[in-house]
Amino acid sequence: EAQVTQNPRYLITVTGKKLTVTCSQNMNHEYMSWYRQDPGLGLRQIYYSMNVEVTDKGDVPEGYKVSRKEKRNFPLILESPSPNQTSLYFCASSSIGDPTDTQYFGPGTRLTVL
Amino acid sequence: AQSVAQPEDQVNVAEGNPLTVKCTYSVSGNPYLFWYVQYPNRGLQFLLKYITGDNLVKGSYGFEAEFNKSQTSFHLKKPSALVSDSALYFCAVTEGGNTGKLIFGQGTTLQVKP
């Protein structure tokens, strides 16, 4: 089954404790991205990657890092999480990142930073 | 800058009645428009998209959307609502260029009552 998977699905952590949210897709997509969803704001892009070793900032990159060492994986790293990063996070992928491509989303990771 | 507005936070309809979820957009260049649905504790699922051509786009689960260039709107419709259609709906437009970024509206909660 074609899908985007994320782990963990739920995470409660404390301020300053480094964490990684994994994202993997099995569709051989070149393009992957991370969004955060906050009430009343919709989804906002954090980072995106057009291909292996090619990453760039989205609209809200502060406090986050990413890497793209393999085509299928795109982990999101919070080196020193803060309470304002409490949010629902989605990973997405599409074929080549063309504006007409459909993006496919993972199930989401709900993060709480205390 | 591209933007999307969903003017209604919540839409309530009775089962069997037609439903409309409104979306307006502001873009420079060609608009590539998308609708996604988010069921509770699930990721975003793609419903339909408008790229070019026929202004009436048909999508999954009996949904359709009408692209209206003069009114810069892309309203989501369904002739007969089901209780199972109750969910959070997002309209989105892709940013121009090759970033692949989706610009989302704030979301509209659809409540279908039996």
CB contact under 8 A, A45 and B101: yes
Structure tokens of A39? Answer: 């009430």
Contacts of B100 in chain A (CB under 8 A): 31, 33, 48, 50, 94, 97-99, 101, 103
Which of A90, A22, A39 lies closest to B46 in space, CA to CA? A90
CB contact under 8 A, A33 and B101: yes
Quote helix, strand, coil % in chain B, to nearest 5: 5, 50, 45
Shortest Cα distance from B53 to chain A (angstroms)?
Answer: 13
- Choose from A25, A95, A105 for mutation: most chain B CBs within 10 A: A105
Which tens digit of pLDDT belongs to each residue from B70-86? Answer: 999 999 999 999 999 99
Contacts of A35 in chain B (CB under 8 A): 102, 104
Which of B41, B37, B32, B43 lies closest to B19 in space, CA to CA? B37
Establish if B3 touches chain A: CB-CB under 8 angstroms: no
Instruction: pLDDT band for B98, please (50, 70, 90 cuts).
Output: low
Residue B53 DSSP one-character state: S
Structure tokens of B69? Answer: 């260039």
Establish if B94 touches chain A: CB-CB under 8 angstroms: yes
**C-alpha–C-alpha distance, residues A78 and B79, integer Å:** 45
**C-alpha–C-alpha distance, residues A49 and B86, integer Å:** 33
Which tens digit of pLDDT belongs to each residue from B22-49? Answer: 999 998 888 899 999 999 878 899 999 9
Lowest mean pLDDT among A82-86, B92-96, B103-107: B92-96
Nearest CB to B96 within list A45, A99, A102: A99
Instruction: pLDDT band for A86, please (50, 70, 90 cuts).
Output: very high
A76, A11 Cβ separation under 8 angstroms: no
Q: What is the pLDDT of residue A47?
A: 96
**C-alpha–C-alpha distance, residues B12 and B6, integer Å:** 15
Across the range B101-109, mean pLDDT stands at 93
- Mean pLDDT rounded to a whole number for chain B: 93
| CB proximity under 8 Å: B 48-67 to A | 49, 51
Which chain B residue's Cα is nearest to A49? B99
- Choose from B34, B52, B102, B108 for mutation: most chain A CBs within 10 A: B102
Q: What is the DSSP string of A30-56?
A: SEEEEEEEETTTEEEEEEEEEETTEEE
Kindly provide the b/e burial profile for residues A18-32, where b requires at least 16 CB atoms within 10 angstroms of the residue's own CB: ebebebbbeeebbbb
